[in-house]
Amino acid sequence: MKRILLLGALVFGGLATMGAGCAGGDSNIESARLNMRTGDLTAALGNVDAALRTNPANAEALEIKGQILSMQATKPGIPLTEASEKARVAAETYRTLAQNPAKASVANAGLGRLYGSFYNQAVSYFQRGAANPDSAGLFGTAYDYVTIASTVAPDSAAAYQVGGYALLRAGRNAEATTQLRLATEKGIDEEQPYLLLARLYLDEARTDAAKYDDAIAVLRSASARFPNNADLQAELLNAYTRAGRLDEAMQGFRDRIASNPNDATARLAFGTMLLNADRYDEAVEQLREATRLAPTNGDAFYNLGAAYTNQAAALNRQINEKEDAFQRDRSNLSTADRNARQAEIDALKTRRNTFFGESAAPLDRAREIYTGEGKDVRQVCTALFQAYTYSGQTERAAGVRACAGL
């Protein structure tokens, strides 16, 4: 995850109250100012409420009330439930004040300071939790501050982003999904929340196939917004594939490769998809290019070998079917027909053995790479044994027998 930045220093301890001049002769406002200078915020709040009962649109009273509630809401040690309620009322007060054009900028500044205080607390608790794995509860506290910040500024994408990250770290994935969805809907200008949200949807799709559509919708939106982000493009293709929407996935790979022919990752993924769809010639084309672009990628070489091997296996099935039919019909066939059928079978065997032979080189390279990486190579050796055997390379076949566990 990218680092979450704190907003600029936003505090209420240094807020200035308004001057001591008379507010239209309203003694309640004068008393409220005096209370604030002496630090008696409860009495000050009582006085501005009295002024507002007389005139609910009193701008000075609304401004002072927003300040008082903001200072109370952000007072160190205040219980979060109380802070949440104070912040909610403060935000409502500032929104009422903002309806007065002459006070809109003052109201918006007050809302910004109030939001910033709780947002920064959320970020601080998140960062403390990330730095101390034994304090997982800090992520829950971070989210509690996010909920207050979101009450003050419900259109803040950044708050929902922090909330989603905190809930993910707390293992509360369902709630994290909601927070990340809100972050993306509010237009967060980072790729990561979209990726995380899509992956949460893909996890849910294991039991609810409709979530594939949600994941794809998020990734399509993000890909349009961040067209140069390879991770988003790859995840979108993954979502199409997992959803069984192969035509869309394949077209997506074609578009991606057309825009960047040297994208080895895309060619490997596309070639593997074509291989799984039994489209062997196309798979070989993509995977051969993937091995050229990524000469140390064992998977690219192994899958290229598998494309040849599977093509050979498909031919072998045809051979078996034709040989069975030949044996059934042999007595009823003329010599010419028997010769024709045998020639057809022999031609298929030659093609099969050629494909097995073609598979040997990439499989051998895959074995070399995997061995260097400390990976298990028995499956590769088994494929090599088969390839060497069918292509008549008996000594090489014997050389991989032990490796294949045969």
Element spanning 130, H or E = helix 104-131
Cα gap 122→151, rounded to integer Å = 13
Sketch the domain layout of the chain as residue ranges: 1-184, 300-404
Dihedral sign of CA atoms 301, 305, 307, 310 in order:
negative
Q: Could you tell me if 87 and 118 are in contact, meaning their C-beta atoms sit under 8 angstroms apart?
A: yes
Reading the chain (406 residues) residue by residue, the pLDDT tens digits are 555 555 554 444 444 444 433 444 588 999 999 999 999 999 999 999 999 999 999 999 999 999 999 999 999 999 999 999 999 999 999 999 999 999 999 999 999 999 999 999 999 999 999 998 777 789 999 999 999 999 999 999 999 999 999 999 999 999 999 999 999 999 999 999 999 999 999 999 999 999 999 999 999 999 888 877 878 888 888 898 889 898 888 888 898 899 889 999 889 989 988 998 899 999 999 999 999 999 999 999 999 999 999 999 999 999 999 999 999 999 999 999 999 999 999 999 999 999 999 999 999 999 999 999 999 999 999 999 988 888 888 889 898 899 888 8
pTM (2 d.p.): 0.69
Look up residue 314 and give its two tokens: 């498909």
209 DSSP assignment: T
Q: Could you tell me if 289 and 253 are in contact, meaning their C-beta atoms sit under 8 angstroms apart?
A: no
Chain position carrying tokens 């493009």: 233
At the topology level, CATH places domain 1-184 in: 1.25.40
Helix axes 173-185, 137-152, angle to 10 degrees: 30
Q: What distance, in Å, lies between the first and last C-alpha atoms of the chain?
A: 46
pLDDT at residue 390, rounded to an integer: 85
How distant is the alpha carbon of residue 268 from its chain centre?
Answer: 21
Task: Assign 227 to helix, strand or coil.
Answer: coil
Look up residue 138 and give its two tokens: 């800090």
pLDDT at residue 25, rounded to an integer: 55
Chain position carrying tokens 């794809």: 216
Q: Could you tell me if 80 and 144 are in contact, meaning their C-beta atoms sit under 8 angstroms apart?
A: yes
How distant is the alpha carbon of residue 224 from its chain centre?
Answer: 15
